[in-house]
Amino acid sequence: MLEVLKENGKYSLPRVLCCEVIQVWLISTVVSMVLEKEFACYTEFTGAAVSCLACLIGNKYINGKYNTPPGSAGKP
């Protein structure tokens, strides 16, 4: 599962940071639901988490299409 965070065999900082933002958002969402409270900037934080998810998907698509050698994993 941690292979998705790697780029050319090394951990990619943008992927790791985006995944951390998404994890913190998930945890804060569950805590907000359990405590039935909403913190002040939840909508902005949700937008940031969605942006990180879009960035991850776009990064994987671009690397798979343009930066992966023909015939290797991730190449159609």
Strand-pairing partners, residue 10, are 7
**How far is residue 57's CA from residue 6's CA, in Å, rounded to a whole number?**
14
Query: In the chain, where are the structural domains located?
Result: 9-63
63-76 average pLDDT score: 68
Name the pLDDT band for 72 (thresholds 50, 70, 90). Answer: low
| Tens of pLDDT, residues 19-40 | 898 899 999 889 989 998 888 8
* Maximum CA extent, the chain: 51
Q: What phi and psi, each to the nearest 5 degrees, are found at residue 47?
A: -60, -40
pLDDT at 75 over 60: no
10-14 average pLDDT score: 83
